[in-house]
Amino acid sequence: MRRPVVGVIGNAHRIEDRFTVQMVGERNLRAITDVVDAVPLMFAGSPEITDVGALLDVVDGVVLTGARANVHPTRFNCEPHISHEPYDIHRDEVALAVSEACVARGIPLFGICRGLQEMNVAFGGSLHPEIRELPGRINHRMPRLDNGEIHPDPLVVFADRHDVTLTPGGVLAQLLGCETIRVNSLHGQGILKPGERVVIEGVAEDGTIEAIRIADAPGFALGVQWHAEYDPQRNPINKKLFEAFGAALRERQRAAA
């Protein structure tokens, strides 16, 4: 059986404020190669470039990665605000369509950080633009120095920051074989209202939704709010997530053979 091919969504970026490119963090690609033993294939987060139907005819699964841009509030009937920029409306269009199509076709779908948020919005849920502003919530954004700059040490930025309590008897709890895990935290936006088919699989100690799945999906359809791609080669929790995604890819390959 051939190695599975995993589509990895790109993010709009400008180099030298002149050249428009599509960009994917290399940790996502290495997680797919090292842990899933699959071939990552970046596709553009732009509807003018990416034909979703043609893409899903080629890949065996999809990873919706994290990104700096927030999902545009008009996607869940809210008003945008300059303080919640940047946005990436082209990625929104592709990611939401991919989420729905993957679930409908039983193609394994793994959402990470922004990817979890996109999955929620695709199935009718809403987001809060700055989850730390809600009463009782902690600051889930990445650590910064006193001068406001992002901390230069990746070990600090991606360090485990808070616990997540898994839903008893849930898919994630059964997969990981435990009740509580500890994860990193690098996000501002977060789930406010879960979508109609969105099932909560894990919640942070402050009530923030940290893991979801799509109910009645015929294939793997799981999203996590933390950056599982950072260290799945050595982190046992994140390794199990990517291994489960890989097992779903190969099961789909066998079923189609």
Q: Which residues contact 244 (CB under 8 A, 6 or more apart)?
A: 175, 220, 222
pLDDT of 140? 85
Task: Report the C-alpha gap between 110 and 256 in whole angstroms.
Answer: 20
Task: Report the C-alpha gap between 53 and 101 in whole angstroms.
Answer: 8
Q: How many residues in total does the chain contain?
A: 257
pLDDT of 14? 84
pLDDT of 205? 93
Q: 126-128 and 5-9 as β-strands: parallel, antiparallel, unpaired? A: unpaired
Task: Report the C-alpha gap between 124 and 35 in whole angstroms.
Answer: 32
When divided into structural domains, the chain yields a total of: 1
pLDDT of 82? 82
Tokens of 6: 């995993």
pLDDT of 238? 97
Among candidate residues 72, 113, 130, 187, the one labeled active-site is 113
CATH number of the domain to which 125 belongs: 3.40.50.880
pLDDT truncated to tens, each residue of the chain (257 aa)?
Answer: 789 999 999 998 888 888 889 999 999 999 999 999 999 999 999 999 999 999 999 999 999 999 888 898 999 888 888 878 788 999 999 999 999 999 999 999 999 999 999 999 999 999 988 888 888 888 888 788 777 777 887 887 788 889 999 999 999 999 999 999 999 998 888 999 999 999 999 999 999 999 999 999 999 999 999 999 999 999 999 999 999 999 999 999 998 87
Domain limits for position 245: 5-256
User: Could you tell me how far CA 72 lies from the centroid of its own chain?
Assistant: 16
Can 113 be counted among the known catalytic residues? Answer: yes
What distances in angstroms separate CA 178 from CA 64, 165, 215, one per listed residue?
Answer: 25, 9, 21
- State pTM to two decimals: 0.94
Among candidate residues 118, 201, 210, 229, the one labeled active-site is 229
pLDDT of 211? 98
